[in-house]
Amino acid sequence: MTVEPLSTACAAVVERGEHACFGISPFNSYFSTARIRELAAWGLARFERVDFFVPDVPSAFTFEALGYTPQKAAWKARRQGQYTRNKIAAALGSLQVADAGARVLGWAELEGNAAFGRLHAHGQQRYTEDASFRDACREASGWVLAGKLPAGQTPDAEQIERAVRYFLAELPLFLDTPSIVDAGISVFCYHQPPAVLRRLYAGELGWRPAAGQGFAVVTPTGRK
């Protein structure tokens, strides 16, 4: 597995090997059952604890931005979210992991989590009050939307404003997973982070990740 920590502090978190949280995107074909199994096998061998973050319900915000009604967007998000949970369960089951369901962090698990709620509310407030932070969030959301639109199309301001709610729902896991999962330290693992996360971990956005939070770009060696 190829591992690229986003900073020296992130590298130290990876090295300690306490907790890893893998981001598993519901509508991304990259995350096949085989790929999830490969990531899980590496994580379980490398870290004391491993969880999988599935932004299931917030995925509806992206579909609203693409023109779906809120009802249709929510339905698609729920259906694909369950499919993604099933893939994780199958991958972990093949690795003889008994508590597969307990290792998934979706909206059902997070919306009642006090630490997550505090971070989510803070992110929404900062988005409203901090213009530079708001621009960075919009840039990240525009990057996501651009990959889902037909070739040659770019998202407009209204689409980005709808979609940014998805990024704000993910943000707590990039900032302070340890407080959410009750760990001393944690590294968030994903294969293709938007540029805003490199800026976040470089301390350029005025809101720094918690001291025990790391981020690493993790990909199977030789593949992306």
- Give the tokens for residue 151: 């070739």
Contact criterion met (CB below 8 Å) for 140 and 194:
yes
| CA 217 to chain centroid | 12
Q: Which of 25, 59, 141, 179 is an active site residue?
A: 25
- Dihedral sign from CA coordinates of 142, 143, 147, 150: positive
Structure-token match 């979706």, residue found: 106
Q: What's the CA gap between 119 and 77, in Å, rounded?
A: 23
Q: What's the CA gap between 105 and 89, in Å, rounded?
A: 13
Closest CA to 84 of 130, 52, 121, 41: 52
For this structure, is 59 an active site residue?
no
Tell me the catalytic residues.
25
